[in-house]
């Protein structure tokens, strides 16, 4: 079984907005993506001819699959990667999925200074990153972990602010929220399991270099 697994390159891809550009880039880099569809009922999609397996996973699970070796490589947003803080190699900044992590509050409850929010509650999917940010500001805060619509926190009185990912800002505006602090930029990253990177170097390294070359040329399908 182990010998059979060693023959394959296993790739973990996240469901959602990163899936399509990730699949397109891998295909452009020469990896066979035949039959690879986000909506597939198959949890693992295998291309026997090229010895490639794809795991289509929930976004937050991708670093876990890679860290523990269930996948050799994966593609994931820097926000999820930094929050998870898992032991993987970060091989390449892929440049797509561009957004940023920020702090926002209800517009009509905005305070003059960031420090005016000290000791208030923050709703977020990213409590570790949020705490790091506020600690750098010398601020102690109370963190409330949410997994759904973070914008609801201030609206229903659960929190005074949110820390979340924003791309266009449309959802913030529609819910009368205003960004007051930018925390970190976010793009998709290619990651690898540390052991796999050594044992399957002959497969992984050429793929990384092919992807790097494509990105440097300004690939348009991302």
Q: Per residue in 171-215, pLDDT tens?
A: 999 999 999 999 999 999 999 999 999 999 999 999 999 999 999
Q: What is the pTM of this model?
A: 0.90
Q: What integer best gives the mean pLDDT of the chain?
A: 93
Q: Which of 4-13, 92-101, 156-165, 178-187 has the lowest mean pLDDT?
A: 4-13
CB 166 within 8 A of CB 102: yes
pLDDT band at 40 (very low <50, low <70, confident <90, very high): confident
CB 123 within 8 A of CB 153: yes
**Residue 221 predicted with pLDDT over 70:** no
Total residues found in the chain within this entry: 222
Instruction: Report the 10 Å Cβ neighbour count for 142.
Output: 10
Question: Rounded to whole angstroms, how far apart are CA atoms 17 and 21?
Answer: 8
CB 12 within 8 A of CB 74: yes
Question: Rounded to whole angstroms, how far apart are CA atoms 211 and 190?
Answer: 10
């Amino acid at each position: 079984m182990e010998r059979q697994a060693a023959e394959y390159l296993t790739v973990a891809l996240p469901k959602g907005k990163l899936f399509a550009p990730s699949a397109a880039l891998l295909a452009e880099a020469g990896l066979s993506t035949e039959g690879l569809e986000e909506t597939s009922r198959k949890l693992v999609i295998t291309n026997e001819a090229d010895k490639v397996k794809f795991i289509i996973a929930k976004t937050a699970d991708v670093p876990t699959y890679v860290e523990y070796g269930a996948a050799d490589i994966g593609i994931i947003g820097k926000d999820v990667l930094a929050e998870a803080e898992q032991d993987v190699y970060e091989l390449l900044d892929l440049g797509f999925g561009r957004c940023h992590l920020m702090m926002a509050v209800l517009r009509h409850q905005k305070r003059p200074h960031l420090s005016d929010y000290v000791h208030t509650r923050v709703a977020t999917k990213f409590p570790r990153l949020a705490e790091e940010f506020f600690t750098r500001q010398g601020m102690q805060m109370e963190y409330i972990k949410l997994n759904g619509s973070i914008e609801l926190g201030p609206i229903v009185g659960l929190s005074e602010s949110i820390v979340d990912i924003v791309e266009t800002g449309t959802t913030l505006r529609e819910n009368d929220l205003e960004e007051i602090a930018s925390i970190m930029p976010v793009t998709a990253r290619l990651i690898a399991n540390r052991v796999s990177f050594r044992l399957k170097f002959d497969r992984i390294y050429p793929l990384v270099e092919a992807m790097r070359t494509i990105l440097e040329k300004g690939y348009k399908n991302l």
